[in-house]
Amino acid sequence: MSYMVNLAVEGRLAVVIGGGQVAARKVQDLLAAGARVMVFAPRACHRVVALAEEKRIQLHFRPYTKADLAGAFVAVCATDDEEVNARVAGDAASMGVLVNVVDRPALCTFTVPATLSRGALTLAVATEGRCPALAGILREELDRRYGEEYSALVDLFADLRKTMIALAWDGGRIRQTLTDLYRNGAAGFIARGERQPLHDFLRSRLGAAFPLPTQMTA
């Protein structure tokens, strides 16, 4: 059983070994998280080459060597060469670099769940690396269930929570109130674009004196 965490990679070096389509997806995910990305591969697909031409990554057309991990915070190995996969895993372990070897959980110090992002909200599905395809299927179900309104819902609830803390509400009261707001349809008002009904809904639950966020009163 693994201990799931979110890695803060912004501004940190991430090394990707491999230049195929799988590697390209990993590169784009790392870029989206703000990492500095270096790719090492004898050959690279169009997507990886395009990112290098746009100066978004550094691309080195050559086989992997241990020195390529110098200074890296994380490494991702996306090759179909089992000897390279094992070597990268061993080198990373000896150098204290976190490593993910795609589809080889036994060689990893971290695995990557299937994720769905809605603004600051991230939903993740993981199978301990045993069946990534199932994680992907379940992610598609989440995509249909949780729409873009959840991005705005996170922002709204974050503002409400900040005010509740300022009003010295205890943790239990905050949690219960936000739970009630969610279960009684807050996301639905946002999804339907019902600004005034949402305002009235919040007033009915929080009271006339509760300071609503600026976007709710403008």
Are 1 and 63 members of one domain?
yes
Are 140 and 67 members of one domain?
no
* CA–CA distance, 33 with 48 (Å, rounded to integer): 17
Are 84 and 118 members of one domain?
no
Q: What are the tokens at 44?
A: 């690279």
User: What is the domain range of residue 171?
Assistant: 149-217
Q: pLDDT truncated to tens, each residue of the chain (218 aa)?
A: 788 888 999 999 999 999 999 999 999 999 999 999 999 999 999 999 999 999 999 999 999 999 999 999 999 999 999 999 999 999 999 999 999 999 899 999 998 888 999 999 999 998 887 888 999 999 999 999 999 999 999 999 999 999 999 999 999 999 999 999 999 999 999 999 999 999 999 999 999 999 999 876 65
Are 119 and 182 members of one domain?
no
Are 60 and 134 members of one domain?
no
Q: What are the tokens at 196?
A: 């005034």
- Secondary structure, 3-state, 147-195: CCHHHHHHHHHHHHHHHHHHCCCCHHHHHHHHHHHHHCCHHHHHHCCCH
CATH classification of the domain holding 46 = 3.40.50.720
Are 134 and 100 members of one domain?
no
pTM of the model: 0.80
Q: 142: which residues sit within 8 A by CB, 6+ positions away?
A: 116, 123, 125
Are 106 and 13 members of one domain?
yes
